[in-house]
Amino acid sequence: DTAVSQTPKYLVTQMGNDKSIKCEQNLGHDTMYWYKQDSKKFLKIMFSYNNKELIINETVPNRFSPKSPDKAHLNLHINSLELGDSAVYFCASSQGLRAGLYNEQFFGPGTRLTVL
Amino acid sequence: DAKTTQPNSMESNEEEPVHLPCNHSTISGTDYIHWYRQLPSQGPEYVIHGLTSNVNNRMASLAIAEDRKSSTLILHRATLRDAAVYYCIRNDMRFGAGTRLTVKP
């Protein structure tokens, strides 16, 4: 069974549309994350949720809204898509997020978003 | 911004050891050093982590400098499947550009 899964794997859409990417983890982890990897391959953290509460919110346009219905899911909703949103989006989860401790992250396979 | 610095790329021959360096001169005393790698068209995967002592696991070894300002990921015998981008990061999980490792047969 896949530990961290994302749907869809590919998403092609027009500028201005609203789309969602879903993420589920079956590892029993408390913390989930969204990352964006742009065309230059830089991987940047966007959000982190711990027990359904937002704990990391990087400088991300408010068109991006994460939603965590439960600990196992962290969905990413994007409004008014722009060309610059084209990237690969990775979901990840970890057991926890405690200062001074490691938290091995398990990443999903990624969702390649193309905005035309 | 990432608080670690790594060479952009490195090459290795198959079956030879590879030493991937990382500088983290501003690391705090409680900050772990994590290494992840990203194979082509896949999400990053955990490799190893450490705090002060050198660490070994089935994938690699991690040598941490005594002052903790740098560390080295060691792949003892590189295989073609080890070709990937290797990221050295701290607890804040801010990935930099990483080191692209090419393994030549």
Q: Which of A41, A42, A104 sits opposite B46 (nearest CB)?
A: A104
Alpha-carbon dihedral sign for residues B82, A33, B98, B91: negative
Strands B9-13 and B99-104: parallel
Q: What pLDDT digit, counting tens, does each position of B80-104 carry?
A: 999 999 999 988 778 888 999 999 9
**B88's tokens:** 């050295």
- Closest residue of chain A to B30, computed from CA coordinates: A100
Q: Which of A45, A102, A109 sits opposite B42 (nearest CB)?
A: A109
One pLDDT digit (tens) per residue for chain B, 105 residues: 568 999 999 999 999 999 999 999 888 877 889 999 999 989 999 999 999 889 999 999 999 999 999 999 999 999 999 999 999 998 877 888 899 999 999
Residue A105 DSSP SS3: coil
Ranking A20-29, A43-52, B18-27, B56-65 by mean pLDDT, the lowest is A43-52
- Closest residue of chain A to B91, computed from CA coordinates: A102
**A25's tokens:** 């983890």
Look at residue A1 and tell me whether its pLDDT is greater than 70: no
Q: For chain A, list residues whose CB is within 8 angstroms of any CB belonging to chain B.
A: 4, 33, 35, 40-45, 90, 92, 99-110
Q: How many angstroms separate the CA of residue B25 from the nearest CA in chain A?
A: 17
What's the pLDDT score for residue B30? 79
The answer to whether the Cβ–Cβ distance between A104 and B42 falls below 8 Å is no
Q: For chain B, what percent of residues have pLDDT higher than 90?
A: 75
Length of chain A: 116
User: What phi-psi label fits residue B74: left (phi over 0), alpha (psi between -120 and 50 degrees) or beta?
Assistant: beta
The answer to whether the Cβ–Cβ distance between B49 and A105 falls below 8 Å is no
